[in-house]
């Protein structure tokens, strides 16, 4: 994507206006990634609100690691929003290729398969990033500023929504890849990740709800 036209550089209002417009991009995949970026940013915010507070000193290493990781994940999600639009545009371009001759039809079919693979892999990477985000939120729950605990719940809920939305874009493109083994493997990996994301989000919600502090993570796990 043209660096001057990246979604990360738009105002929130401008992105929403573009999303609501008649063009096919940005679409659901980009929206999912943007939602994921907000989830990651909330992880960083809670970490920042916890750092340097004596009450949470036992979790200082976790706060530092989660804050840095959350910022990196937010940046990755913003990049994935642009990548998803590019992948969809590539698929659309492949569909428009000429098919008047056998050679053109073969070339078009190959281009569609390659574009569909990319259009499945990009949202799969969004699902992967969502898993990292919700794992961070779960690790912070009960180990961070209690006044910001609900923000971890919101982060988890956004991660679930982003992951399920991205997964839908994975699934819809699989039949066009033309490789049943690859498609079955990617579907299985996506479903497994979504299930784990749901589990971690539920665990985060339960920890936030009961409000009980948790012991520090073992060294090396922060």
DSSP string, 129-176: HHHHHHHHHHHHTTSS-GGGHHHHHHHHHHHHHHHHHHHHHHHHHGGG
Question: What are the sequence ranges of the domains in the chain?
Answer: 27-210
Question: What SS3 class is residue 221?
Answer: coil
What is the CATH T-level fold of the domain 27-210, as seen in this structure? Answer: 1.20.120
In angstroms, the Cα distances linking 145 to 27, 32, 53, 65 are: 35, 27, 8, 15
- Tell me, what's the pLDDT at 3? 60
Distant-in-sequence, close-in-space partners of 35: CB < 8 Å, separation ≥ 6: 158, 161, 162, 165
- Tell me, what's the pLDDT at 166? 98
Are 131 and 193 in contact by the 8 Å Cβ rule? The answer is yes
Q: Tokens for 89, please give them.
A: 């545009």
Are 26 and 1 in contact by the 8 Å Cβ rule? The answer is no
Q: Tokens for 154, please give them.
A: 């919101």
Between CA 151 and CA 153 the distance in angstroms is 5
Q: Which residue has the tokens 């804050």?
A: 67
Measured torsion, CA atoms of residues 188, 191, 196, 199, in degrees rounded to the nearest 10: -140
Q: Tokens for 47, please give them.
A: 């970490």
- Tell me, what's the pLDDT at 127? 98
- Tell me, what's the pLDDT at 1? 56
The candidate with the shortest Cα–Cα distance to 32, out of 155, 152, 168, 133, is: 168
Ranges of the chain whose pLDDT falls below 50: none
> Which alpha helices (H) appear in the chain, and where do they start and end?
12-19, 28-50, 60-95, 102-140, 149-173, 180-210
Indicate the pTM of the whole model: 0.95
Q: Tokens for 112, please give them.
A: 């569609």
In angstroms, the Cα distances linking 171 to 43, 108, 216 are: 28, 21, 39
């Amino acid at each position: 994507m043209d660096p001057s036209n990246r979604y990360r550089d738009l105002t929130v209002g401008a992105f929403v206006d573009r999303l609501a417009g008649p063009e096919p991009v940005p679409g659901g995949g980009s929206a999912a990634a943007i939602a994921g970026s907000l989830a990651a940013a909330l992880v960083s915010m809670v970490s920042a609100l916890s750092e340097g507070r004596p009450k949470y000193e036992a979790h200082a290493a976790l706060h530092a690691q989660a804050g840095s990781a959350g910022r990196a994940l937010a940046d990755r999600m913003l990049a994935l929003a642009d990548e998803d639009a590019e992948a969809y545009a590539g698929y659309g371009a492949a569909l428009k290729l000429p098919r008047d001759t056998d050679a053109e039809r073969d070339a078009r079919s190959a281009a569609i398969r390659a574009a569909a693979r990319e259009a499945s892999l990009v949202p799969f990477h969004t699902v992967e990033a969502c898993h990292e985000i919700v794992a961070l939120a779960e690790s912070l729950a009960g180990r961070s500023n209690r006044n910001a605990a609900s923000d971890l719940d919101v982060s988890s809920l956004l991660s679930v929504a982003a992951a399920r939305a991205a997964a839908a874009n994975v699934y819809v493109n699989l039949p066009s890849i033309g490789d049943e083994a690859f498609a079955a493997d990617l579907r299985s990996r996506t479903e497994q990740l979504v299930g784990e994301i749901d589990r971690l989000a539920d665990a985060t919600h339960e920890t936030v709800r009961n409000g009980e502090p948790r012991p520090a993570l073992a060294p090396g796990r922060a």
